[in-house]
Amino acid sequence: MPPDQQPPDLPNHRAETAGALLGTRHDFPQRQTVLDLFAERVRQAPERPAVRHRDATLSYADLDQAANQVAGRLIALAAPRAALIPLLITDGPEFPAGLLGILKAGAAFVPLDPAWPSERLRAIATRPPRWRWRPPSTRRPKWASPREPSRSTSATTPASRPTPTAAQRRRT
């Protein structure tokens, strides 16, 4: 094509092709958050498996309870809404519980890959504010210094208050 000519308009088949390949032909609720969708699933099938890892299985009700405990601990520690909470990526059920709990507390998570160099993890995890949630079964993070007071929370600690869904937050 000569440089002074415009290329012809081509149809955009990207979304259609992706949908056909991925099988994503479901409508997505436009006014619901991830937490709303999760709460709906908990109501619909509380005893169905939500997370399976090795020999452990968490039902939707169990995952919801663990997430509420994480959210409650963050709220009890006065983690501000919209805080960025570093979250160590694990392959166990603690990760989805931590992720959902952070969102329920009104915060956002910053995923930390345990394969990253210690210096990088330390730099991210020690940036103010130093809020973080660590699964109860893990050892002290490799980025935490011995002098640093632990503000980590545990999914085994009861929640101080339930967290509202997005629909409830919109009403206030």
Determine the pLDDT at residue 1.
Answer: 59
Is position 87 within any domain? Answer: yes
Assign 3-state DSSP to the chain and report helix, strand, coil percentages, each to 5: 35, 10, 50
* 2 in any annotated domain: no
14 lies in a domain?
no
pLDDT at 142: 45
Those residues whose C-beta lies under 8 Å from the C-beta of residue 170, and which sit 6 or more positions away, are none
Say which residues have a Cβ less than 8 Å from residue 109's Cβ, sequence separation at least 6: 84, 85, 86, 87, 98, 99, 102, 103
Q: Identify whether 81 is part of a domain.
A: yes
Nearest Cα neighbor of 163 from 83, 96, 64 is: 64
Q: Is residue 6 part of a domain?
A: no
Give strand pairing partners of 96.
none
Confidence (pLDDT) at 23: 64
Q: How many domains does the chain have?
A: 1
- What is the pLDDT, as a whole number, of residue 9? 67
pTM above the 0.85 mark? no
Domain holding 99, by residue range, is 30-139+151-171
pLDDT tens for 2-50 read: 667 766 666 666 666 666 666 656 677 788 999 999 999 999 999 999 9
CATH number at residue 117: 3.40.50.980
Whether 24 is in a domain gets the answer: no
Question: Does residue 64 form part of some domain?
Answer: yes
pLDDT beneath 70, residues of the chain: 1-3, 6-26, 128-172
